[in-house]
Structure 1
């Protein structure tokens, strides 16, 4: 069940029965605020029936979009002529049933019962509209204006009313400006109001102002480090900014504070998939599918993840299952053809798979370059290097030379197809454009090593030497350890077959420092350092 951002507004701590009832509902409201809905429900049910518990249960179900249950609990509160809260409850029950006219009658009665002099009544009515499915907010804003006029007498805005005002304006397509103004007014009145900072961040996120969204969410967290919704929204900000690792970290922080639900498991699985943690994603995916076998998103990600894990047969079976579900629900996306095509290519059905990817390109021409890259990668995965080469070349021609990464992938395809000369040429272009790119020297060294199989010409020597120099000078030399072992072993062998053991030995020794278990290096060091026997004396 999807919760709209504006549906997370909390009711102010209001009670008609004094401080005892207030104390009972405070923990519930905190649980709702932290999105721990089952905990809130269990607490309320333990408290037994009362006006306060019925009202909060009604709100809980309305926040979750379960309107029939919301109406039931609101209706359980007996009507009292002098009690505005009972009239607001009746109005909320009417809203849950879709009867806006009856709701207005009840809310008008609540204002009359309080003689129009209770700011909390106006705030509660505004929240009732904000937390409902009502789209026409005209009448709701009239109550807000009455509340604002009353608040003006105190000299400052009421934060609860302002947040409700902002939530109401979010229901309008063009209401973003007024909504932001409302939340800012809430923070002016209460600089430590966490909810209004989160709302401001959500509005910024909606307008793709990721930096401002991040600032607001981080401000909320600085005020209350345990405020779960801020982490959820911050995760979404990083997601839309394409920073998936950070999105996952923030969402998992959210999960540690909020309540686990099918929705959170689904979202966690999605973030794990996006960050390339496919086995971990599969654990979460299987949890959802065990209880909801026709969940569209999880069936899709199961097929995608199995492919990324190299389990192509299982991926094909999962894709068939997903396509059955998608067809029944009438929902599919162009990426489905791309993944299915890649699976077929890897399974040997190259023409059929390539046709599916081409269909995806036709369906979304704006993604043509991106999808052709996926097609080329699929050919590489299937070890169909000639087709990978032709696809990369066509793609680069269409984009007038292509990106630098395209050149790297094409060079790799040439190399895997044992076309080392064009591979070396492309790696040369890479290093000319990006001389600081350390792995590029290793790539070019390997291509040249293949052009000089016995290493007698030493074609790879200058590139491995530069690789060692650049890797050791980097801020993370440990990340290049395997490449440094490779480079030192090449140079050690080069000098050894030249007969220069003194020059050869230090390279083999360095390879052993980097990897003490390298058998080839051990053998070389032993052979070079083994003392030669003196010739026997003549008798």
Structure 2
């Protein structure tokens, strides 16, 4: 009996030792995930799945690695294997729900979350997994999904209630994230601080605090928090990434320009500490784009190795195209972006920048019509790209395609009526319509004066925005000369020429430089009065000769006025 008891005791000991080893291995894998060492975590978890095939947590965490690196279909396959291996694995149902959320299928996500609760209704980990899943979102720039904060907080709060002894710091990280993502910083701080009490070795909460301060533009506070994390663990990669991004933003506000160079160094450190996975390299390339280090970006994008048929290859084509354009390699940009659009079958994944750079590359290649189509799409996605419409319009204007140029300037004005460059849009819209009318008139096409009305409206806006844009008065006068009745002119141009004369005459230093246009104003007004009020006409012609002696029109008209009146017939 003693021998039997000893054997039982020994067997129990072996079970406990085996559980401890397993727990340690899974815990290490989770730490690798948290440190964004995804290749390392994947390798560890695949080994665990192989050796501990009946444990659902192994599959769940491997699935999370796939989700975090953007392989949603692979994640689903792993979660489903986890359910097959462990029918009571609530976390794998929650993982399927997270995959649904990232795919934009909220209905299916709810179904899977309900299955998770049914499988383990009393386990806080069920609600923790569901709460974190509701916070899941694709990269914000891709705008595929947004967090469901209400459901996230409800489930995380339920997890906190069930974890009565506060054993798991992840619950409080989840709650902190839920508030931080909503910019509710005061609510986020409490849960993040609570993490340190539960697990002093946890670095994620401090990193998230630094990120939160960064996004609130409290750069000094964010720097302090992130440096605390690095001081506690010099090998925690995500802290270097967040500090690098913080320095980049800080320098962009002009408060500390030298930090921009430091930002790149920190990001390289992050890469070194996160096993340079494809995901971390892609993130580095995006960082280089926002850091405007286009030379480095094109170099990295061109050298990165992407496995065949890996969907991430599409993103590399995108970044190759963006950087090639910024580096003035326009034909290469067109090639790369054409390749990107050929590969990208899901149009919801296309960003405003994709259309913008493709359109600009097409514009450089002389493909005006295609450029306009794609740049219009870029503006529809992000109105801050409206200045690119102006580039298309100016290209058409320079090619003397005035009618088309005017139409595109109208689009640019509609997209950006008051922003940067709007003054030029109004001015060139007026000029394009003015020249369009003139060309059609010269070609005897009987153009509608509605074209001139549009021109007048646009140039009036220029004067309203910038009253000291002197040439605008001359342009408006010329437009109104054409608007006037040919047979019975009303002198529509006179007020604008008079205003131009007044503006220039108030600043004597401008008279000499604007002599020819002043002469035009005097000549045109004098010409209007020539048959109505000869004394007034002479007054303006005299002024014209005075300001611009080499002019011929006023001199000829003065000679006519000085000539004897022709004798009447029969006298």
User: TM-score normalized by structure 2?
Assistant: 0.49
Structure of greater relative contact order (alpha carbons < 8 Å, 6+ residues apart): 1
Check the 8 A contact 1:58/1:72 in 2, yes or no.
no
The match for 1:466 is none
TM-superposition CA deviations, 1:137-173 (whole Å, max 9, x none): 435423412435x45xxxxx864543344356668x5
Is 1:181 aligned with 2:195? no
Q: Cα gap change, 1:147/1:169 in structure 2, threshold over 3 Å: closer, same or farther?
A: farther
Q: What whole-Å deviation, never above 9, does each CA across 1:305-335 have from its counterpart, x for those lacking one?
A: 3334443333333343334446762555554
Aligned-residue offset at 1:368? 4.9
> Take 2:60 and 2:310, find their aligned partners in 1: how far apart are those partners?
30
1:220 to 217, 225, 229: 229
C-alpha contact (below 8 Å) 1:200/1:216 kept by paired residues: yes
Partner of 1:437: none
Q: Within the alignment, does 1:304 sit opposite 2:322 as a pair?
A: yes
- 2:304 maps to what in 1? 287
Compared CA separation, residues 75 and 166, structure 1 to 2 (3 A) = farther
Partner in structure 2 of residue 317 of structure 1: 335
Kept in 2: contact 1:59–1:70 (CA 8 A): no
CA contact (8 A) 1:354 1:375 kept: no
Distance in 2 separating the partners of 1:140 and 1:203: 19
Deviation at 1:345, TM superposition (A): 5.5
Instruction: Check if 1:103 corresponds to 2:116.
Output: yes
Q: CA deviation at 1:254?
A: 1.2
1:198 equivalent to 2:200? Answer no
Counterpart for residue 58 of structure 1:
60
Q: Evaluate the alpha carbon distance shift between residue 225 and residue 297 of structure 1 in structure 2; reply closer, same or farther with a 3 A threshold.
A: same
Q: CA deviation at 1:267?
A: 2.2
CA distance in 2, matches of 1:24, 1:358: 51
Range that drifts further, 304-313 or 249-258: 304-313
Q: Which residue of 1 aligns with 2:92?
A: 93
What's the offset of the Cα at 1:289?
6.0
Unpaired runs of at least 5, structure 2: 1-15, 68-74, 98-111, 136-147, 253-258, 399-420, 428-461, 469-571
Partner of residue 49, structure 1: 51
**Residue 27 of structure 1: aligned partner:** 28
Counterpart for residue 254 of structure 1: 270
C-alpha contact 1:234 1:247 (8 A) present in aligned 2: yes
Equivalent in the alignment of 2:102:
none
Q: Is the 8 A contact 2:274 2:280 kept in 1?
A: no
Measure, in 1, the Cα distance between the counterparts of 2:309 and 2:223: 34
Q: Is the CA contact 1:125–1:143 (under 8 Å) kept in the aligned structure 2?
A: yes
For residues 193-232 of structure 1, the C-alpha deviation after alignment (integer angstroms, 9 at most, x for no partner) is 3121122233344555444444332321121111112223
What does 1:361-376 align with in structure 2 at a 5 Å threshold? 363=380, 366-368=384-386
Q: How far does the alpha carbon of each residue in 1:66-95 deviate from its partner, in whole angstroms, 9 at most, with x for none?
A: 1441342365358xxxxxxxxxx6222343
Residue of 268, 277, 280 corresponding to 2:284: 268
The structure-2 alpha-carbon separation of the partners of 1:344 and 1:163, relative to structure 1 and needing over 3 Å to count, comes to closer
Q: Deviations over 1:81-115 (max 9, x none)?
A: xxxxxxxx6222343355334433443455xxxxx
The equivalent residue for 1:166 is 176
Please state how far the C-alpha of 1:180 moved relative to its aligned partner.
3.1
- Kept after mapping to 1: 8 A contact 2:79/2:92: yes
Matched with 1:459 is: none
Match of 2:528 in 1: none
Check 1:370–1:181 CA distance in 2 against 1; reply closer, same or farther (3 A cut).
farther
Distance 1:316 1:187, change over 3 A: same
Match status 1:76 vs 2:75:
no
Number of equivalent positions: 349
* Equivalent position SS for 1:64: helix
- Using the alignment, how far apart are the partners of 2:19 and 2:383 within structure 1? 64
Residues 52 and 26 of structure 1: CA distance in aligned 2, closer, same or farther (over 3 Å): farther
Runs of at least 5 residues in structure 1 that lack an aligned partner in the other structure: 1-14, 79-88, 111-121, 152-156, 381-390, 403-539
Report deviation, 1:182: 0.8
Whole-Å separation in 2 of the counterparts to 1:350 and 1:401? 37
Alpha carbons 2:318, 2:337 under 8 Å: kept = yes
Q: Quickly say closer, same or farther: Cα 1:224–1:104, change in 2 above 3 A.
A: same
TM-score, normalization by structure 1: 0.51
TM-aligned CA distance change 1:304 to 1:401, over 3 Å:
farther
2 CA distance for matches of 1:129 and 1:271?
Answer: 30
Change (3 A) 1:177 1:51: farther
Change (3 A) 1:177 1:335: same
Structure 1 counterpart SS, 2:51: coil
Q: Which has the larger radius of gyration?
A: 2
**Deviation, structure 1 residue 256:** 0.4
Preserved contact between residue 268 and residue 284 of structure 1 (Cα < 8 Å): no
**Cα separation, partners in 2 of 1:191 and 1:34, compared to 1, 3 Å:** closer
Partner of 1:229: 238
SS of aligned partner of 1:260: coil
SS at match of 2:284: helix
Alignment of 1:457-476 (within 5 A): none
After superposition, give the CA deviation of every residue in 1:401-457 in whole Å (9 maximum; x if it has no partner). 99xxxxxxxxxxxxxxxxxxxxxxxxxxxxxxxxxxxxxxxxxxxxxxxxxxxxxxx
Note the C-alpha offset of 1:184: 2.0
Contact 1:201 1:213 (8 Å CA) reproduced:
yes
What SS class does the counterpart of residue 275 from structure 2 fall into? coil
Q: Residue 359 of structure 2 contacts residue 371 of structure 2 at CA under 8 Å; is this kept in 1?
A: yes
